[in-house]
Structure formats: C-alpha cells, structure tokens
Amino acid sequence: MDAVPAPEVSALVLHGQRSQLVPVTDEHATELRRIRAAREVRRYWRDVDASSGWPLDEPSVARFAVLVDGEVRGLAQYTEEDDEDYRHASIDIFLDPVMHGEGLGRDAVATLARYLVDHRGHHRLVIDPAADNTAAIRCYASVGFRPCGGHAALRARRPRRGLARRAADGLAGRRAEARQHRRTAAGFSCSGAAHVHRPHRSPLHLDQRHPLSAAERHNGDMTELRVAHTADLPTEALQAVRELLDGAFPADEAYTEQDHEHALGGVHALVWEGTELIGHGSVVMRRLLHDGRALRTGYVEAVAVRADRRRLGHGDAVMGSLERVIRRGYVCGALSASGMAGAFYASRGWQVWTGTISVVTPHGVERAEDEEGGIYVLPGSASLTARGDLACDWRDGEPW
C-alpha cells in the first residue's frame, strides 16, 4: 500500500510563537542540505537517505522549511495514513545545530501538531526519535507526546529512510496493531506487539482522544501557553503569577510589590502545566527617550520559569510570545537583565545598550550609571543604534 499523497500546501504558512513553517521550495534546498549535512543532524538523518532531488523528491511527504526572522533554520515534515482503522500522521524534524537548546524545536513541533489536529482532523500523531536523542525526547514530551512501544516499534524495524517508504514498510505492523486495538478498549493501545521493540528507537505518540491525566500533566508531559491582557486574567491566575514570581527570585533580589505593579497592565504570556503555572512574562507600554524622540516601547517584565521546569524551552516560548506582541504593537522593545539572563536575551537578538542610561525623574533627567551594561533593546520600526543616551519614564520603585 502506498503512502497517502501529501495535501496541497504550496500556499500554506504556519505561524508559531517564534517560527514560521513554509512549504519547501527550490530556494530553501541549498540551506536545508547544508543543515542536514551537519554532524549533529547527520547522526540521525543519514546522508544516504537523501536522493539527488531531496528535499523535493517525495510527493507523499509534506515538507516545511522552519524559518526564524526569514532565515532557514530547519525542516519539519509529515505524512498521513488515512485508513480508518489506524488513521494518524507521522512527524519528523531537524534543526540547524546553532539553534539547538533554544526552544525552537518545541515551537515548530507544536505548530505543526496544531495544524494536523485542528485543520487535518487527526486525533493521533506519531514521532520516533532515536532512543539516545534525549534532547529531542524532552522536547517532544514538553509538547504532549508520550512514549509508546508497540506501533512505532514495529514501524522502526528498519533504519530511518524516506517517510514515504517507511509508511509503506510499516503497513503490516499497523494492521497487526489495528487488530490488537479492536481487541482492547476503545481508543489507542500501545501494548500490541511490544516484543519486537528495537532499543535504538524511542517512539512517542500524541493521542487527542485521550487527554493526559492530571498526574501526567504535573510530570511535565503536557504544557499550554496562553497569552492574555491583565484585564482578562481571572483572580486565580493573577494569584498564581504572584506566587510563581515570589518563589522564582533569590532572597537578595526579592520580588516586591512594586515589581509586581510594574508587571501589570499589559499582555501576559503564561505557561500552564495542567492547573499549575510554571512560566510567565509580561510586556507593558513605556515611553523611552532617545535622540529627541519619545519611543512607544514594549517593556518586558517579570520573566520567570519555575526552578524544576527550566531548560525545557519554556522561557523561549514565553519570550517568543512577548516578542511577537512587541514587533506588532510597538516601535521597539526593552528590558533590564544581567549575567546569564543577559546572555539568554542576547541569543534571541536583543542588543545591549552601549550608550548612557538615564531616567526622566520629577526633578529632570538623571543619569543611571548602575544600569549601564544591563539594558537590552529589541529593534523594531524605530531606528536604534544602541549608542547615545536612552532614558526611561518615571515610576515608583526601580525605574528600569
């Protein structure tokens, strides 16, 4: 049985929090080949798999270039099985190694998964990373995928090849699993044929018909990013924000009432794990003065991820949402950071202000030398050179 022909996606653009997924064309091919040839990628995507026409060689595979700020940063693809007994979609992805560890994979996988569920009508998605690719497995788990031995283990008997060929090769196994499925309770069972599991693969699936239990969500298997204005957040959510931030900062940098006041009145990005808030950031409007202009600025406040949920891409997800608000609603962005936090923002394209820093106080403009070297800006439509003087408007507490 041949794989299902890929749907027409030539005009489709999928928008994530940080990435855009656009159908692969000739103009993406050279860069995608370069990324695929990188040692870190080639380890899991063997060069022998790629034909001379790759990545435009398999009509049954829907392939998207993963773009960040217009630059090709990887590839995401899927195939579909439409037999009603075992209908599902299979996903694969690789990214430029320079983007590893920045949350881009989570964003791209979540974006493609939403499209397959919301627009292609799938209830079950499958992805099968190598068992030793722990970073990929953590990434997929944070989107909501769960380990599943039976189905994908059968499909993974052979080394990774083109998706279309793998779909055909796995048909017999899927038929066997479908029989096992009908013998069990309604819904997906991954117990069938588990005795053929190959240790070099670690298959995962996401089944929309069986939402994760509260315990599984608590263990980090499913998270949800929500964006809302302060006015639209219920009291319980605002209290959860305050509790998260109270516990996120060390004693010598305690989160104060004034700090919390600064974080309100704008747009919040919140990462929920079940009913628990594990990540937050907000962007509020401020006026910054530079070169004789008062700049409508999206100022980032109160970015934090719960200690036991860090380094899983949640900070990137929060910032991706806030940066989208800034780019669409303000002429530039700004924030105050130091140390490792500054390095994090710099990796996302924020630029440290190399000029002087000031504050417009009730008594006039005063220089704030202790803030210099710790103020970052995100250029937008405003022309900024990160030199000269940058002054912020006055507020109670820490001005910057």
Question: 88-105: per-residue pLDDT in tens?
Answer: 899 999 999 999 988 899
- Tokens representing 394 are 């006055």
* pLDDT value, residue 150: 39
CA distances from 3 to 58, 77, 127, 172 (A): 10, 14, 16, 13
Q: What is the pLDDT of residue 59?
A: 84
What integer pLDDT is reported at residue 164 of this predicted model? 37
Q: Do domains 14-210 and 224-392 have the same CATH topology?
A: yes
CA 366 to chain centre: 40
Is 62 or 8 the better-scoring residue by pLDDT? 62
Residue 12 contacts by C-beta under 8 Å, 6 or more apart in sequence?
A: 22, 23
Its pTM surpasses 0.85: no
Q: What is the pLDDT of residues 129-172, one digit of tens each?
A: 888 888 888 888 888 887 765 333 222 222 333 433 333 333 33
Residue position matching structure tokens 């929309």: 208
What lies within 8 Å, CB to CB, of 97 at 6+ separation is 35, 38, 39, 40, 41
Q: Taking 70 as the threshold, does the pLDDT of residue 180 lie above it?
A: no
Residue count of the chain: 400
3-state secondary structure of 181: helix
Domain boundaries, the chain: 14-210, 224-392
User: How far is 47 from 33, CA to CA, in rounded Å?
Assistant: 9
d(CA 248, CA 256): 12
State the pLDDT at residue 215.
30
Class (C level, CATH) for 14-210: alpha beta
3.40.50.1100, 3.40.630.30, 3.90.1150.10, 3.40.570.10: CATH of 224-392: 3.40.630.30
Would you say the C-alpha torsion 41, 46, 48, 53 has a positive or negative sign?
negative
For residue 147, give every residue at least 6 positions away whose Cβ sits within 8 Å of its Cβ, in sequence order, or none: 202, 203, 204
Can you read off the two tokens belonging to residue 224? 């949800």
Residue 75 has pLDDT above 50, yes or no: yes
